[in-house]
Chain A
Amino acid sequence: MSLFIIVALPFLGAFLPGLMNSAGRSACAGVTFAVSLAAFIGLLTNLPLVLAGEVVTARVDWMPSLGLNFTLMLDGLGFFFALLILGIGLLIIAYTRNYLSRDDNMGEFFTYLLLFQGAMVGIVLSDNILLLLVFWELTSLSSFLLIGYWKHLPEGRQGARMALTVTGMGGLAMIGGMLILGQIVGSYDLSVILENRDLIQADPLYVPALILILLGCFTKSAQFPFHFWLPHAMAAPTPVSAYLHSATMVKAGIFLMARMWPVLSGTPEWFMIVTTAGLVTMVLGALIALFKHDLKALLAFSTVSHLGLITMLLGTGTAFGAMAAVFHILNHATFKAALFMSAGIIDHEAHTRDIRRLGGLRKLMPITFMIASLAALSMAGIPLLNGFLSKEMMLEEANHTVLFGLPWLVPALATFGSLLSAAYCFRLIGHVFLGPVRDDYPAKPHDPEAGLWMPPAILVVLVVVIGVAPFLAEPFVKLVTASVLGDAAEVPKAYFKIWHGLVPALFMSMIAVVGGLLMIAVFTPALRLWDTTPRPEAKAIFDTIINAVVRVSQQVILPLHNGAFTRYAAVAAVTILAAGFHAWSTGSVGTATRTLQPADPVLIAGWLMLVAATCGMVLMHRNRFLSLILIGIVGLMVSVGFVFFSAPDLAMTQFTVEVVTIILMLLALNFLPNRTPIESSVLRRVRDTGIAIAGGLATFALAYYYLLRDAVSTPISEFHLANSYKGGGGTNVVNVILVDFRGFDTYGEIIVLGIAALLIYALTETLLGGPVRARLLNRLPDQARAGDVHPMMMVVLTRVIMPVVLLVGFYIFWRGHNEPGGGFIAGLIVSIGVVMQYMASGFAWTSARLRYPYHGVIGAGVLIAGFTGIGSWFVGKPFLTSDFTYVRIPPFEKFELATAALFDLGVFLAVVGAVMLSLESFSRLARRAHVPDNEHPMDIDPSRENPLQIGAKPAKEGG
């Protein structure tokens, strides 16, 4: 199966559990299982190729210019991890079906689980480090959802937040490291990077890159000093803990260290950092684990400890260490997942995970006892179980490792860590299962149904099989090791055997086991000593740091960001000015290449009017109606300016938009107060004037310098002018750009316009559905109304004019491709025609005659434009490729038919719909309770029998 499908399956499948939620819990778990199984089988189909030593790849160029490609690669290492992720994932899904209670939303859980699974598979199969980073962040996000799945538990939410913060920060650091790595090599493809060991290690940026990448790995894999998030993530449901903390999430960091091993390892920096961190984590984690009373917390710290062990092995930088690490990853995944699931079973049946309240479960839960004991003994390193084998290899490796020039340091600490590890395993068995049966369990424990114990049992079978017959796992582990090592080293010859003879590792192992037993014997006094020793509480430190960061950012941000729009506007204006000034003072400006053109008297007159109107607006803005008239003048002058400077299309658009904007503002002003009171102090006004004048001068200077210089390079417009007729079939280049060259932009814009109109409609609906409704209905106008609101003259005139307006709109629309015009302008013209009907004949009368809702018109417009674009797919062209032809239907002249016209029709409809929906929404607010809707177009109509039955009451009201 293609690697793409393997990675995509969990993501696509993530939709299914949510959809199947109502079909029952089994159906929900069933589809999830089926999705994972399909991916699992798909992975297995690639096994023969991987066994043959080939690297399976799949590649799609995504953003080649950025070096970001969707490249997947499946080698031994990737296969190994994908196998763990998908295989243990299957067991977890089966286990979850029985674990979650009826109150838990199973669809939600499985959706998160599949998202997480997909992200993990993506990490281990990525052949592009940028793509890997994307998946890496996805695991942080989806694990956040999983850990915080029980939203009602504060610990769950806090644990999820902490995990996200720590792994997210690590991810950020890693992005930096990966980018440096990509810069050094000149490629972001992993397969290329892995071949450039010498280049990378010789680069001066090797150490920063190494530290940043290791930060990502250490946070993800809970290495000291970032180990503290993992135990807090235990607030998650147990299947999540079993999955995330045995085989997947925390192994992602390990995976990356293994993946990068050929290029990053072998240097003193790598050795020092990785081995030390691993060693400290291993001992510290084991020590804390021993004294934890919560079963899951014990397992969590033991996970931390074992991850430290693996990290240390990778840190040694030898081929044997890498092989031991790979083997231990496999063994740890099997026994740890089984242990977590057993802990979940105990919690499920006994209703407590507190070791102090348990004991004697051996007789009550024999099956669980068997499973958990075998897994725990394996973790303790007892022969004939798989944990023994990799622990032996670890001790062997530790024996050859010299850190800080002290040959005894690493072996001693490794033995001590193993001793503690054995001790907490014995404690787990002894204090939970052995001992007398108690009679004060919170619930009566018994073995659960097969659905719960079967998944861990399968894993324990693996534990025993590998432990008894290690030669079965040997070829596979060596295959994986070979792909970890790459070209950097040879796979070690050593065989996997239970009996190596009387080697030092065996003695160290014996010391560990015997020491562990002794430790349990003196556990009670040791615990007392532990409890009296003061220790830093990681969560308190974390919270203190977070609170400090929050305080600092509040102090920095709140003074600027205090919720006052005026302050934002002022800050933004000043900032932009400062940035512009900086650019101005540091950049260089060439000499003017264009000459000043003489000013026309018409232009001067227009300029005078524009400036006068603008100044008038500013000075008299307190009179809102007057300022509305003045802004109309400004708009008109801008339109005239467009005509003057050879932009007829723009002039027509600006002019028509001006009309609808003014109508809109008038509708709003109908409700708003007529005057703006004086509120701001003189000082404030002076300050604002200063900002405004500075802004005005800046834009003036920018525009003036700009206008007197030619473009540095040839504008793309040359292409548009040259190809407009040949390629687009139109002589109006502006229109051809809109509907053809940049049709996709236009398509986006009409969608935005439609959304804006729908938003206005939605806001109106909300207003009319809420408490504002009564206020609106009983509102008294603050000004006298006209006696004859809908005068006959106007009604008749607008109706006579309507066909003419439509005709003009039709004409403007059709000639748009070759002469000034087009869908935008025609849409605006037709809208004005319709608005006039509303104004003249009244809202109720017009709406009653409206056949199509404006939402539909917007939708039809967007759909027509969209389908026109899709149409070009059928002839094998990209979206929105236009075509045109000339036809002649006698007796007419030959004329042109272009698909662009169809697209323009979509634009036209969307514009009409959007403009009308906005204006209609506003006018709906204006209906009032004591004024009946006018069913007649005219208030005074001599042809009616009762001509004085007037819709709107005359001017007596209000005032």
Chain B
Amino acid sequence: MEFLVASAIGVLTAGGIYLMLRLRTFPVILGMSLLTYAVNVFLFSSGRLTVGAPPILSDGVSVYTDPLPQALVLTAIVISFGMTAVVVMIGLGAFLGSDDDHVDDPSEDADDKAEGTS
């Protein structure tokens, strides 16, 4: 179980980083979303994995999972929506203003040209 969660975090991170390194806004935003999932799951798992013991107090139950990471991740999820929306808006505004959705400024530098465009 631990292996599956850890590897899921790894896969999400890898996918997120790869997409973040793309040249257009949309994949970069998706990459950031993937990275957000990875970070949230990672933070959540800092409470360690417990099955069937939600932190809802009830009589006769003494084992609960760690509630603190859950509270932190809950707000993180909502905030990350706000931030994603801002980034999408910035990307969209840039595209509408210039008809170009590259994340990097066009550069005159020959070095960058070799690196950036084909």
Contacts and interface: CB of A to CB of B under 8 A. Distances in A.
Contacts of B55: 646, 721, 732-734
A959 interface: no
Contacts of A615: 11, 15
A621 interface: yes
Contacts of B80: 657
Interface stretch (A163-171, A382-390, A701-709, A895-903): A701-709
Given A627-B27, A696-B17, A715 B104 contact: no
A614 B34 contact: yes
Interface string A662-702: 00110011011100101111001000110111011111111
A559 to B, nearest CB: 9
A731 B56 contact: yes
A597 B51 contact: yes
Interface string A598-609: 111001100100
A618 interface: yes
Contacts of B27: 621, 624, 627, 676
A691 B101 CA distance: 23
Interface string B70-90: 110111011111111110111
A472 interface: no
B15 A617 contact: yes
A553 to B, nearest CB: 19
A358 interface: no
A617 B34 contact: yes
A660 B101 contact: no
B67 A737 contact: yes
A140 B64 CA distance: 56
A331 interface: no
A569 B24 contact: no
Nearest to A757: B82
A638 B41 contact: yes
Contacts of B75: 738, 745-746, 749, 824
A566 B34 contact: no
B6 A704 contact: yes
A485 to B, nearest CB: 56
A646 B63 CA distance: 11
Contacts of B48: 594, 707, 710
A721 B62 CA distance: 10
Interface in B87-110: 88-93, 95-97, 101, 103-105, 107, 109
B107 A752 contact: no
Contacts of B10: 696-701, 703
Contacts of B84: 661, 664
B9 A724 contact: no
Contacts of A654: 40, 77
Chain B, interface size category, equals 35 or more
A733 B57 contact: yes
A594 B88 CA distance: 41
B106 to A, nearest CB: 10
A576 to B, nearest CB: 10
Interface string B1-38: 11111111111111111111111111111100110011
B118 A646 contact: no
A699 B9 contact: yes
B89 A645 contact: no
Interface centre among B6, B22, B46, B78 (most CB of A within 10 A): B78
Contact of A753 (B18, B53, B82, B95): B82
A557 B67 CA distance: 43
Nearest to A703: B6
Interface stretch (A196-204, A495-503, A915-923, A937-945): A915-923
Contact of B105 (A563, A604, A824): A563
Nearest to B62: A721
B96 A671 contact: yes
A752 B82 contact: yes
**Which secondary structure characterizes the binding site on chain B?**
helix
B74 A703 contact: no
Interface residues of A, number: 122
B4 A603 contact: yes
Contacts, number: 332
A645 B9 contact: no
Contacts of B47: 715, 717
Contacts of A732: 55-57
A786 interface: no
B81 A915 contact: yes
Contact of A596 (B2, B16, B18, B90): B2
Contacts of B92: 668, 671-672, 922, 925
B34 A696 contact: no
A17 interface: no
B90 to A, nearest CB: 7
Given A717-B67, A738-B74, A767-B97, A918 B82 contact: yes
Nearest to B28: A565
B14 A664 contact: no
A383 to B, nearest CB: 72
A599 B4 contact: yes
Interface string A231-274: 00000000000000000000000000000000000000000000
Nearest to B4: A607
Contacts of A638: 37, 40-41
Contacts of A720: 67-68
B47 to A, nearest CB: 7
B88 A665 contact: yes
Given A647-B54, A733-B64, A760-B85, A657 B78 contact: yes
B32 to A, nearest CB: 10
Interface centre among A618, A627, A757, A820 (most CB of B within 10 A): A618
Interface centre among B7, B65, B73, B77 (most CB of A within 10 A): B77
Given A610-B8, A725-B57, A733-B56, A680 B96 contact: no
Contact of B19 (A618, A645, A749): A618
Contacts of B97: 767, 770-772
A506 B13 CA distance: 83
B9 to A, nearest CB: 5
A57 interface: no
Nearest to A647: B70
Nearest to A678: B118
Contacts of A618: 15, 18-19
Interface string A85-114: 000000000000000000000000000000
Contacts of B86: 756, 759-760
B13 A699 contact: yes
B37 A635 contact: yes
Nearest to A748: B75
B103 A565 contact: yes
B35 to A, nearest CB: 9
A641 interface: yes
A763 interface: yes
Interface in A907-951: 911, 914-915, 918, 921-922, 925
Contacts of B17: 569, 573, 688, 691-692, 695-696
A918 B79 CA distance: 13
A715 B74 contact: no
Contacts of A664: 81, 84-85, 88
A729 to B, nearest CB: 11
B15 A704 contact: no
Interface string A552-579: 0000000000111111011001000000
30 contacts: A610-B11, A614-B34, A617-B30, A618-B15, A631-B33, A638-B37, A638-B41, A648-B54, A654-B77, A664-B84, A664-B85, A672-B101, A678-B118, A691-B21, A692-B16, A702-B42, A706-B45, A707-B2, A717-B68, A720-B68, A724-B57, A732-B56, A733-B55, A738-B74, A752-B82, A760-B85, A764-B89, A772-B96, A824-B74, A925-B96
Given A564-B112, A692-B18, 16 more contacts: A564-B116, A600-B1, A634-B12, A650-B44, A661-B84, A679-B117, A679-B118, A681-B115, A692-B16, A693-B14, A699-B9, A700-B11, A707-B48, A828-B78, A918-B89, A925-B96
Query: Which 4 pairs between the two chains have the least Cβ-Cβ distance?
Result: A696-B14, A700-B10, A756-B82, A692-B18
